[in-house]
Copies of this chain bind each other. A is one copy, B any other.
Amino acid sequence: MPNATKNSTAMANAIRVLAMDAVQQANSGHPGAPMGMADMAVALWSRHLRHSPTNPQWLDRDRFVLSNGHASMLIYALLHLSGYDLSVDDLKAFRQMHSKTPGHPEVGITPGVETTTGPLGQGITNAVGFALAEKLLAAEFNREGHRIVDHHTYAFLGDGCLMEGISHEAVALAGAWKLNKLIALYDDNGISIDGQVTPWFIDNTPKRFEACGWNVVGPVDGHDIDAVDAAIERAKLSGDKPTLIVCKTHIGKGSPNRANTAKAHGEPLGGDEIKLTREALSWVHEPFMLPEEVYADWNAKADGELLVNDWNARFDAYKAAFPELAAEYVRRMAGELPANFSEIAVQAVAAAHDKAETVASRKASQQALEHFTAALPELLGGSADLTGSNLTNTKSTPPVRFEDDGSVAVTELGKPGRHINYGVREFGMAAIMNGVALHGGFIPYGGTFLTFSDYSRNAIRMAALMKQRVIHVFTHDSIGLGEDGPTHQSVEHAASLRLIPGLDVWRPADTTETAVAWSIALANKNRPTALLLSRQNLPYAPKVDADVITQGAYILAEPSEVGLKKKPVAVIIATGSEVQLALHAQAELAKQKIPVRVVSMPSTTVFDRQDVAYKKAVLPNKLPRIAVEAGVTDFWWKYGVDAVVGIDTYGESAPAGVLFKHFGFTTENVVATVRKVLSIKK
């Protein structure tokens, strides 16, 4: 929709000037990228992007992701100019405490920002998640004559994103999934922080994308707004492939001395160069003062409201025709659980409790998932090529597949699939799940071995920072994995995941704890969860009441349960597969007339949020404490323990039973440790 009456050059220069002035004022930031991408932004934002500045949460808006997040002033300028609730004062507060314009774009802080970007490569991967969610929701909810889910996902990205390995995972999956409504614009400026990229970046990027099933348009002159506009127009015609538009640009475009240099990248231009740039652009306005015509040309409020009104009318028609579907769509997009969720959760836990089975907790997870996936159509599972090991699939979640024409295949259940084969792409899976969660309509969960949480770690952190409900199913959670050996055996992972602020971590001991962990993870609307699950079978730990599990830690067995009518003289705290060991030690100690309490602590993060009274009831100040977990010991001292039975070296390749014995996870060793603590304390 080119508009002859608009002054596109001025629109682009407004971005350039705002970017250089805001960075200068903050004395910190990245002016070069927004200046280089300004023309691309004019083409996309003023001619294609379907959005509504006054309705930033409009459900069917196009999604825009700035994958090269250091170019944050680009999106802030665009939001401000388009009419979002982002004032000149907000721009002046760029990179200042509690402003709406932090150094990198942060979702939840700034209206119109769809995802937090900065860690390179993850934005484009989030965008794949957005586009996947759109495609699956469209297949599920649209009906003949009613296209209520119908939007594009656009991403800007730079060569930094393309160098990151995760971009390969994202690109490969977008191609395999035929995400034709994903359009990525590559800011091909040939410069990264270290300089002209040729010595370290010789990729033929178009060829690389074509090799992964993408449509490639260009290279086009990224400063020719009409050319970029035409390229986007072409990209929108794709029915079965995502599109990359290669835009040749000059970093710092407009700055006479800094353009095309690495110096334009990450530091203010400086007063003198800003003056020269103003002259070169013939820009006569003071910093942060823009002419009314520019605002008028940029203002997207009226157009956006027309779009929203039109969609609302169409949605009303849809609602009239399909009232249940419409209600379900609204519920799903709002991230609300079904009204009967508590009931379902109770059923899942009760079923586990009643069966009291001895199974691996990964199997217990699948059993819980059978309940939850049957009742919650928003659950979108997956695995990084370990489906049969992670047990993330259920009867309700056949694989997601795509037809040759790009459409979503209908499964034997008469609907799109709900379990994704991510391939061996852990980081990609995690960042795509973040995109799916941000889009709305789904609760994504995905599996891999716990050790490979290392690969996806920064995306897990990003989910926590963004407060997104993403659930990681990490199986094979310790040396209990056995023969695969130390490369695959988690030792430090449980502890190190617990250090990520805002992430809930569960390491359940049996089927009920696993079902409860799932129920809390699902109810955690604003928090990601990691479930650490065993490969090996775990006996059911009898308990009167499963409700108490929701507190994260609880008294599992008092001495009375092993026939000792005495008050406990010590507490053994254990998690996951080591809870049974704690119970064995308790029984053995009882024979020796030493009464101890066993506390199961499936979630330290949840327990830490309980009130002091509860904490003291579970872990009385006066009782010595011994922690038992097949992981590094350092973590446990925060609970005031006197000893830890753990493992501070790498594991070995051998059957699990041999390993547990070798590393001291034996009843005798736990008993001896408790006795030693008691003798010292005397």
Query: Which residues from chain A sit less than 8 Å from chain B, CB to CB?
Result: 26, 28-29, 69-70, 95-99, 102-104, 106, 116-121, 159-161, 163-169, 172-173, 175-176, 192-195, 197, 199-205, 207-208, 210-213, 383, 385-389, 399, 401-402, 421-425, 427-428, 451-452, 454-455, 457-458, 461-462, 464-465, 482-488, 491-492, 495-496, 498-502, 632-635, 637-638, 640, 648-650, 652-655, 658-659, 662
Complex contacts, A649 vs chain B, CB 8 Å: 501-502
Q: Do B168 and A424 touch (CB < 8 A)? A: no
Given contacts A168-B167, A200-B421, contact A653 B102 (CB under 8 A): yes
- Which 4 A-B residue pairs are closest in the complex by CB-CB distance? A165-B165, A102-B653, A168-B168, A118-B487
Instruction: Decide if A424 touches B120 in the complex (CB within 8 Å).
Output: yes
Contact A485:B172 (CB < 8 A) given known A193-B389, A208-B212: no
Are B487 and A116 within 8 A (Cβ)? yes
Minimum CB–CB distance for A492 against chain B, Å = 4
Minimal Cβ-Cβ distance residue in B for A402: B199
Judging by beta carbons under 8 Å apart, are B176 and A648 in contact?
no
Contacts of A119 in B (CB 8 A): 451-452, 455, 487-488
Q: Which residues of the partner chain B approach A176 to less than 8 Å between Cβ atoms?
A: 199-202
A165–B163 touching, CB < 8 Å? no
CB nearest to A487 among chain B residues: B118
User: In the docked arrangement, what's the CA distance between A368 and B192, Å?
Assistant: 27
User: 19 A-B residue contacts at CB 8 Å?
Assistant: A96-B653, A99-B653, A102-B486, A119-B451, A163-B169, A163-B385, A193-B386, A193-B387, A194-B385, A194-B387, A194-B423, A197-B423, A204-B211, A451-B458, A465-B486, A492-B500, A498-B634, A501-B632, A637-B637
List residues of chain B with CB within 8 A of the CB of A386: 193-194
Closest chain-B Cβ to A448's Cβ sits at a distance in Å of: 11
* Distance, CA A649 to CA B192, complexed state (A): 31
A104 near B202 with CB under 8 A, answer no
Which of B159, B161, B483 lies in contact with A28, CB distance below 8 A? B483
**Residues in B whose Cβ lies below 8 Å from that of A401:** 199
B424 and A163 contact, CB distance less than 8 A: yes
The chain B residue sitting closest to A481, CB to CB, is B103
Chain B residues closer than 8 Å to A455, beta-carbon distance: 119, 164, 427, 457-458
A175: nearest residue on chain B (CB-CB)? B202
User: In the complex where A202-B176, A399-B199 touch, is A104 in contact with B500 (Cβ < 8 A)?
Assistant: no
Task: Name the residue of chain B whose CB is nearest to the CB of A96.
Answer: B654
Contacts of A655 in B (CB 8 A): 28, 95-97
> Known: A194-B383, A199-B399, A200-B176. Is A488-B424 also a contact (CB below 8 A)?
no
Q: Measured between C-beta atoms, what is the minimum distance from A382 to chain B in Å?
A: 10
User: With A96-B654, A483-B29 known to touch, is A192 a contact of B424 (CB < 8 Å)?
Assistant: yes
Give the contacting residue for A172; candidates B169, B201, B210, B387; CB below 8 A: B201
Partner among B192, B402, B499 whose Cβ is within 8 Å of the Cβ of A632: B499
Question: CB < 8 Å: which of B70, B421, B424 contacts A199?
Answer: B421
Report Cα–Cα, A188/B633, bound state, in Å. 43
CB < 8 Å neighbour of A173 from B200, B205, B464, B650: B200
Which residue of chain B has the shortest Cβ distance to A427 in the bound complex? B165
Known: A201-B176, A500-B492. A484 touches B454 (CB 8 A): no
Question: For A121, what are the chain B residues with a Cβ–Cβ distance below 8 Å?
Answer: 165, 424
Pick from B104, B454, B465, B485: contact of A653, CB below 8 A.
B104
The answer on a CB contact under 8 Å between B428 and A165 is yes
For residue A488, which residues in chain B have a CB less than 8 angstroms away from its CB?
103-104, 118-119
What is the distance, in angstroms, from A242's C-beta to the closest C-beta of chain B? 12
- The interface residues of chain B lying within 8 Å CB-to-CB of A207 are 207, 210-211
Which residue on B lies nearest to A462, using beta carbons? B487
Q: How far is the CA of A638 from the CA of B658 in the complex (A)?
A: 29
Which residues from B are CB-within-8-Å of A648?
501
Residues of chain B with a CB closer than 8 A to A203's CB: 172, 175, 211-213
- A662 near B454 with CB under 8 A, answer no
**B425 pairs with A483, CB closer than 8 A:** no
**Chain B hits for A194, CB < 8 A:** 383, 385-388, 421, 423
Chain B: minimal CB distance from A169 (Å)? 5
A421 to B212, CA, bound (A): 27
CB nearest neighbor in B for A503: B492
The interface residues of chain B lying within 8 Å CB-to-CB of A427 are 165, 455
The closest CB in chain B to the CB of A208 belongs to B211
Find the B residue at minimum CB distance from A207.
B211
Query: Judging by beta carbons under 8 Å apart, are A97 and B662 in contact?
Result: yes
Would B95 and A653 count as touching, CB distance under 8 A? yes
Q: Which residues of B contact A102 (CB under 8 A)?
A: 485-486, 652-653
